[in-house]
Amino acid sequence: MRVRSLKPAAFGSAAFRFALMLAVVVALGAGALLFTVEQQVGYYAREASDGMLRAESSVLAAEYAELGLSGLTDAIARHRGSDADPPYRYLLIDRTGHRLSGDLPLQAARIGQGSVAVPEDLDGSRHVERLATQVTQLPGGLLLVVATDSFDVQQLRYRLGRFTIWSGIAIAAFALIGGYLVGRVFLRRLATVNRSIDRIIDGDGAERLPMIGFGPEFDDLTRNLNRMLERKDAAMEALRQVSTDIAHDLRTPLTRLHQRLERLQVAGAGDPDSIDAAVEQTNGLLATFEALLRIGSIEGGVGRRRFGPVDLSELLDRIHAAYVPVVEDCGQTFIANHSGGVTVIGDPDLLAQLFTNLIENAIVHTPSGTRIVSRLRTIGTEAVAEICDNGPGIPSDEREKVFRRFYRRDASRSTEGAGLGLALVSAIAGLHQAKCTIPDGTEGLCVRIGLRLSSANDQVTDSPKHHGLP
């Protein structure tokens, strides 16, 4: 399964989730910090106003002790002044609760510290102001209430609160954007790593993972993964070397055997029919061996380095023209229905082998009178080629198995071949990252190959030469 590519605008992306988490954490942190600061400032402001009230109360109490009631009322009147918004406001009541001086409401006279709501006309609009109060009991049953404007403290707290909220939002938004951008950079690097992994899965043995960056731990991870790949590669290479050596060692004596038989053939010695049969058998043996090695090397990813644009329409036309007489000689018919100008990226020789194998498979496994059709069309970004016949077909439970090496259906035991044709088809399709399927609902057998179309922005590393012999 291919890893989804990173879409920049995707809100479901890991970058966005990462940013969201970061923003939430930052917002919570900022909120907690500002809440503490706000509490501290509020506490300090309250302390300050309370201290001021205590000081004012004790000054007035001293006046009373020295100059008696008249001295106190004078002092209150003096302190109160004529200011519209005086710093302190007062209330002096006697034992019976009668107001002797001051303009605060009577309910303010509760012993200790408290607050009182005072309706006020400010800038033409009525509003209720809360004043902090300090109530002092004076000798002779008098109660002195001194109140001060807590407005400044409230204003400070209100502003601080607003600042807290806006700062929180701004910091969270900043964290969100910043986190998203950083996350995207990180995910981009991860995407390059994933692309490398895709290439490795597709058989590019030389590919190594790029460094992720962002920290030594990530780079250690990459290095370790690359070391693991090195080891696996070395093991694979050793295996491949052994196969090649076996090929060399086994084929040399087989070649000699073949040559000897040929010399007998040419010399006309012995029984010519037996020698012909022996030559045929060595050929069959070598062909099987050849096909196996070829499948092995294709599955190893060899051949992709030479990929270039291939005109699939021309290739299929050429194969069709080559096979029409063969199919006719077998009493079947061969029809081509190819869209023109369909170009894919691949190896022309291997693709030719893929389609000839499918056609030969159809020729060999269907009776005379069968119609074989070669189709090519484009669907979206895919070139879809099909080789279909209206022969007996294969049951759906065997459709996967036919692409395995040496798999032969019981019905085809009597026909020639080692059961490698479709395995080679599957290996070549795999090398081209092509989909190789047997669709349902068709009469007979239909093998569908879905190849990615070549487009102008496809990078071709090697020159797309077609290496035909002169």
- Interacting residues with other proteins (CB under 8 A): 244, 247-248, 251-256, 258-260, 262-263, 265-266, 279, 282, 286-287, 290, 293-294, 297-298, 302-303, 305-306, 318, 321-323, 325-326, 328-329, 347-350, 352-353, 356, 360, 363-364, 416-417, 421, 466-469
Task: Count Cβ atoms below 10 Å from residue 77 Cβ, excluding itself.
Answer: 13
Longest alpha-carbon distance in the chain? 155
- Asked if residue 11 lies in contact with residue 161, where contact means CB atoms within 8 angstroms, the answer is no
How far apart are the C-alpha atoms of 267 and 104, rounded to whole Å?
139
- Sorted by sequence, the CB contacts under 8 Å of residue 176 that are 6+ apart come out as 19, 20, 22, 23
Taking the CA atoms of residue 71, residue 77, residue 80 and residue 84 in that order, the dihedral angle to the nearest 10 degrees is: 180
| Terminal alpha carbon distance of the chain | 43
How far apart are the C-alpha atoms of 304 and 347, rounded to whole Å?
7
Query: Which is nearest to 261 in space by CA: 250, 274, 251?
Result: 274
The helix or strand, by DSSP H or E, that contains position 208, with its residue range, turns out to be none
Query: Which is nearest to 283 in space by CA: 273, 291, 271, 293?
Result: 291
- Asked if residue 452 lies in contact with residue 382, where contact means CB atoms within 8 angstroms, the answer is yes
- Asked if residue 118 lies in contact with residue 76, where contact means CB atoms within 8 angstroms, the answer is no
- Asked if residue 429 lies in contact with residue 390, where contact means CB atoms within 8 angstroms, the answer is no
Fill in the amino acid letter for 92. L
Query: Which is nearest to 349 in space by CA: 388, 382, 318?
Result: 318
- Asked if residue 119 lies in contact with residue 133, where contact means CB atoms within 8 angstroms, the answer is no
How far apart are the C-alpha atoms of 208 and 227, rounded to whole Å?
9
Residue 146 burial (10 A CB sphere; 0-12, 13-18, 19+)? buried
Closer by beta carbon to other proteins, 363 or else 451: 363
- Sorted by sequence, the CB contacts under 8 Å of residue 196 that are 6+ apart come out as 207, 208, 209, 210
